[in-house]
């Protein structure tokens, strides 16, 4: 059985607001399995945003583990991310999970991977998934040449450009923000 995979998730931290968005497409091989998947979630009463790409079941498992870490570390997102990355890399079961996550608060934006990485992007812009490089490029250009745009506008436009270019990304967007 083929895994459901491929997506685009984009986060922008700009002018005191963080926005995180994703497309809604899930594929199985070269077939669209579903077009309205919700790949962005809010945690901690709306104070933390999480977006995920990769195998759906794996992503939900990691989302639950991250939420446990957040609760265990009093909502400290960076500490929770580091502890999740440690477990993800060293635990025999978690090590096999195939997904990536972007987590965000109004102060910081992080990318968490199964290789133990917790990355804080230089420009406050992060993207993951099959269309991630398209969305990242678009958002970086908007950030540089149209800084008057809001974080939400940059995410929406970056994802739209990615959807125009990546066959695994659609225009059915879900976007959350924290101001």
7 is catalytic: yes
Which residue among the candidates 7, 8, 27, 169 is catalytic per the annotation? Answer: 7
Non-local CB neighbours of 60 within 8 Å, separated by 6+ positions: none
Q: Residue 128, SS3?
A: strand
The conformation of residue 5, written as its DSSP 8-state character, comes to: E
CA-to-CA dists, residue 35 to 27, 47, 173, angstroms:
9, 27, 10
Q: Could you say which DSSP state residue 44 is in? A: G
The single residue listed with the structure tokens 């990691």 is 62
Catalytic residue positions, numbered: 7
């Amino acid at each position: 059985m083929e895994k459901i995979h491929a997506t685009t998730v984009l986060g922008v931290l700009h002018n005191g607001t963080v926005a995180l968005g994703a497309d809604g497409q899930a594929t199985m091989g070269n077939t669209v399995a579903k077009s309205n998947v919700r790949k962005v979630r809010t945690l901690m009463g709306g104070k933390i945003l999480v977006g995920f790409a990769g195998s759906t079941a794996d992503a939900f498992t990691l989302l639950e583990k991250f939420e446990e870490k957040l609760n265990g570390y009093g909502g400290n997102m960076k500490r929770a991310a580091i502890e999740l990355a440690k477990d993800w890399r060293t635990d025999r079961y978690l090590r096999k999970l195939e997904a990536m996550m972007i987590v965000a608060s109004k102060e910081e934006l992080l990318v968490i991977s199964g290789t133990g990485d917790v990355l804080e992007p230089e420009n406050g812009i992060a993207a993951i998934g099959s269309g991630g490089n398209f969305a990242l490029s678009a958002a970086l250009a908007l950030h540089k040449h149209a800084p008057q745009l809001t974080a939400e506008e940059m995410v929406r436009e970056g994802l739209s450009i990615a959807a125009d270019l990546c066959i695994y990304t659609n225009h059915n967007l879900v976007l959350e923000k924290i101001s």
